[in-house]
Amino acid sequence: MSTHISIWGEMATLEHTLRFVDVNGVRTRVLQAGAGPDLILLHGTGGHLEAYARDLAGLAEDFRVTAYDMVGHGWSDTPDTPYTIDVLSGHLIGLMDALGIERAHLSGESLGGWVVAWTAAFHPERVDRLVLNTPGNIAGKPEVMARLRDSTMAAVRDPSEATVRRRVEFLFHHKEMVTAELVGLRRAVYRRPGFVQAMTNTLVLQDPQVRKAYAWEPGWVGKVTAPTLLLWTEHDPTGGLDEAGLLLSWLPDARLHVIADAGHWPQWEKVAEYLAVHREFLGSAGV
């Protein structure tokens, strides 16, 4: 396990830009670094672009990397509307248009994985290759939805150090890796004015009735023609390898890589392996 000091320390020597971009009226926080084929990174529920702080410098050696706060997340705008998967995918396409990116590799973690898969199914002309990083709860298990909804709303309604730390620790197998800085960042997001409503708009996806329209199922997943890497872990609290098997059977062109000794955030817990599998899979695209 590599040593982590701070988010700024991870990016101290990385030449990058951090700015806000207008995406169809949504002020969107975007970080870009590196040169080469475009690779866009999407975080999970309640997350922000710092979820990739430990990977940006490594990925920027091979790609022009874009990480951003999805609509209703991080420090991007929080318009009062349900952030369903089609809305989040439309925001991604709008961002690509605003940045002049015609096609890109997409790599999404958790909710971000759901969004990139939907984008590949309905906007195949915009996607080169796809990485689904611990997309979680493919089977739509009610107990997983309830656990995510309850723990997230508890942290947003009471963004104390202890409550938010419990929410962040949920993502990790090695909970000792959750730093005060990471908890502090998440607390700052959750304290933003109007963020309780923003999170309510995000968590509509944990409502079984709303979820039906976007649930993982072979009808739309089978439309994903982009070569796909399923990046799973041994200790993901949101979905086991049985669910990876479901996706493998539905996706026309997919392979599976399992990272040992990690939870829901392998991009933070197992940086070297996360980078290596991205380089191997995306690099083999020949672009």
In terms of Cβ atoms closer than 10 Å to its own Cβ (0-12, 13-18, 19+), residue 273 is middle
Q: What are the two backbone dihedrals, phi and then psi, of residue 186, each rounded to the nearest 5 degrees?
A: -65, -35
Summarize pLDDT for 238-253 with one digit per residue, the tens: 888 999 999 999 999 9
pTM: 0.96
Res 203: pLDDT: 93
Q: Which alpha helices (DSSP H) does the chain contain, by range?
A: 7-10, 56-59, 85-99, 111-122, 142-157, 161-169, 180-190, 195-202, 208-211, 218-221, 241-250, 266-269, 271-283
Query: Could you tell me the domains of the chain?
Result: 7-139+215-283 (3.40.50.1820)
Is it the case that residue 166 has pLDDT exceeding 60? Answer: yes
Average pLDDT, integer, range 5-31: 96
Could you give the CA distance from residue 157 to residue 163 in angstroms, rounded to a whole number?
10
